[in-house]
Amino acid sequence: MTNMPGTKKPRQLAFVSSDAGDARAALAELSAEYGHVSMEDADVVVALGGDGFLLQTLRDTMGTGKKVYGMNRGTIGFLMNEYAVDALPERIGAAVAETIRPLEMRATTMDGEMVTALAINEVALWRQSYQTAKIRISVDGKLRMEELSCDGVMVATPAGSTAYNLSAHGPILPLDAPLLALTPVSPFRPRAWRGALLPNRSEVRFEILEAAKRPVNAAADHTEVKGVQSVTVRQSKKVTATLLFDPSHSWNERILKEQFRY
């Protein structure tokens, strides 16, 4: 991920919102104030809602070169800018852009089917039955863990590090950190293992041990694959999404605040 200079004042804005009442009201208010074009014709897409809706908007714009500016009309809004109607084009023009590279998941099922998908947050594996999953982990072709007995395991991006990864006690990563978080979910053996930080160029391979007896599902964000035999995860080299932040409300500042909460 690389920092980019702020964008020029946008000529065309597209407003999109979640189904929440506050988000729909903001959509009507901003469209009336600034006009509205389709997402295809827009320079910048303004996403109104919570973090989940913002990430969905980023998925919808991946690879298009369009920039996404989120304003919080949801609950937490960790990735969002504060909502205000006034001077929106000027705010967007002064915003700092962060380029996000999603993860590529390649999952092979027990039936031999290959499924590929992209994830902005994380690629996660978790047990499908009452029995713990047993997973072998390799990084860049080198075996790193012969057998992890757990409820699940994930590879999270910096953008996703405050979501499922944080709930599983994984580390919070600055958005521009060249890292991925490899985080277990309820590890049983080795019980003391809390995961690893990997260079974002790494390729992680998960092999499911006793897959028929201990079935495992995998998901790249919302794309789920049932009954996987192996999963390979790496950062995309081609596809990007771009997120805009107000300079006074940067991602790095939010990361620091989150780490000093008690």
51 is an active site residue: yes
Residue type, 120: I
User: Binding residue per annotation — 151?
Assistant: yes
155-192: b (≥16 Cβ within 10 Å) or e: bbbbbbbbbbbbebebbbbbbebebbbbbbbbbeeeee
Q: What is the C-alpha to C-alpha distance for residues 71 and 53, in angstroms, rounded to an integer?
A: 11
User: Binding residue per annotation — 52?
Assistant: yes
User: Binding residue per annotation — 167?
Assistant: yes
Residue whose tokens read 């020029």: 8
User: Binding residue per annotation — 246?
Assistant: no
The residues that bridge with 133 in the sheet, in sequence order, are 150
User: Binding residue per annotation — 166?
Assistant: yes
Closest to 135 (Cα-Cα) out of 197, 186, 199: 186
> By the 8 A CB rule, do 228 and 217 touch?
yes
User: Binding residue per annotation — 159?
Assistant: yes
Catalytic, out of 19, 41, 43, 51 = 51
> By the 8 A CB rule, do 155 and 221 touch?
no
Question: What letter would DSSP give residue 144?
Answer: E
User: Binding residue per annotation — 162?
Assistant: yes
User: Binding residue per annotation — 122?
Assistant: yes
Closest to 162 (Cα-Cα) out of 71, 252, 95, 61: 252
User: Binding residue per annotation — 165?
Assistant: yes
Q: What is the C-alpha to C-alpha distance for residues 197 and 85, in angstroms, rounded to an integer?
A: 40
Q: Binding-site residues, please?
A: 51-52, 121-122, 151, 159, 162-167
Q: Binding-site residues for NAD(+), please?
A: 51-52, 121-122, 151, 159, 162-167
Which residues are annotated as catalytic?
Answer: 51
